[in-house]
Structure 1
Amino acid sequence: MKLLEERIRQEGIVKSGSVLKVDSFINHQMDVLFFDKMGAEFKRLYADAPINKILTIEASGIGIAIIAGLHFGVPVVFAKKSRSSNISDDVYHTVIHSYTHNNDNNVIVSREYLSPEDHLLIIDDFLANGCAMEGLIDLAHQAGATVEGLGIAVEKGFQKGGDKLRQEGYRVESLAIIESMDAATGEIVFREQD
């Protein structure tokens, strides 16, 4: 998605440790009109898939997933990183390592919101090493749901999580794939896509 690449070039800040800061429009302040364009692109990319639910993880993926849910006309379920008093003990559970925060998160989804009848599009804002995607796929498999595909806003292609998931047979559609980025110069190189 050339529009996303341009926006990253304009507003993205490359930081040390392979961190790309895009919080001016994706992870802290959300440009919902831009999210609408991303949601429409996910709908175009997965128009052939029988998606009846979108799955994401809190927090940064929720905004993009909701807008995509509007385009697909389906509910959005988000995996929670903490259990609240209004969630029963009847949950699917997995542990996901956060690359950004360098910690492990116990992640849950109530069993009433994922089932074997579900055909899921899993959406997230970033894909680096693939830990969040693997955890969400694990939750889907626990529920017996079908993973139709993975929709990523920004993939760090140099970190190989996307390549690993593709090799495992998952359909991964990333709106922008970064081949390399340099914190010293701020340069970002994107992978050519069809």
Structure 2
Amino acid sequence: MELLKQKIKEVGIVVNDDVIKLDAILNHAVDPVLTTAMGKEFARLYREENVTKIMTIESSGIPIAFAAAQELNVPMVFARRKKTLNTDTETYCERVPSFTKGMVTDIMVSREFLSETDRVVLIDDFIANGDAARGLIRIIRRSGATLLGLGIAVEKSFQAGGRTIRESGIRVESLVKIASLSGGSIEFE
């Protein structure tokens, strides 16, 4: 997706050979035009799959997932990272490490919002090692829902996440693939 590549070139800050900071468009601020375009592209890629639900994980995936859900006219649900006083006690829960946060967190989805009749597309902002995606995949499988595939805004293809999920037979559609961040330079596939 050329618009996303252009924005990454404009605002991306290479922190080191493994990390790129995209706060200006994905992780702290939201670019509505770009986010809408990403949602439309994911909807185009999955439109023929009879999607009934878009799923993501809080928080940075929510705007893109919302845009895709709106374009497909289906509900969006997100996995929560924190329990609150009114968190449903009937949840699917998984422990997942976070590459960027450097810690393990619990993610949970209320059983009320995911059922065996759902046909789900996972949408997220980044995939690096794929741990969050694998946690969501386990939740979807435990619910009995059908996983149609993943939609990833930015795949760091020099890390194993996208590749290993594809190798397990799951469809992964990435709008942009970053092949390298070496030497402070962003190299796209």
- Give the TM-score category using the shorter length: over 0.9
- Secondary structure of 2:121's partner? strand
Counterpart in the other structure of 2:185: 187
Code of the residue aligned with 1:25 in structure 2: it is I
Cα distance in 2 for residues equivalent to 1:43 and 1:108: 25
1:88 Cα deviation (Å)? 2.3
Residue 128 (str. 1) matches residue 128 (str. 2): yes
Structure 2 CA distance for aligned equivalents of residues 29 and 3 of structure 1: 17
Q: What are the within-5 Å matches in structure 2 for residues 1-194 of structure 1?
A: 1-16=1-16, 18-182=18-182, 184=183, 186-191=184-189
Distance of 1:17 and 1:56 partners within structure 2: 26
Structure 1 runs of 4+ off > 2 angstroms?
Answer: none
Structure 1's unaligned 5+ residue stretches are: none
Residues 39-67 of structure 1: CA deviation (Å, up to 9, x unaligned):
11101111221111011001111111111
Distance in 1, Cα, partners of 2:44 & 2:118:
20
Greater CA drift, 16-25 or 172-181? 16-25
Query: How far apart, CA to CA, are the structure 2 residues paired with 1:17 and 1:86?
Result: 41
Normalised TM-score (structure 2): 0.97
Which SS does the other structure have where 2:47 is aligned?
coil
CA shift, 1:151, in A, is 0.3
Per the alignment, in what secondary structure is the counterpart of residue 82 of structure 2?
coil
* Structure 2, gaps ≥5 residues long: none
Shift of 1:38: 0.4
Distance 1:4 1:109 in 2: 29
Query: Deviations along 1:115-167, whole A, 9 cap, x unmatched?
Result: 00000000100000000100000110110010001000000000021010000
What is the distance in 2 between the residues matched to 1:66 and 1:40?
10
Identity among equivalent pairs (%)? 45
Aligned length: 189
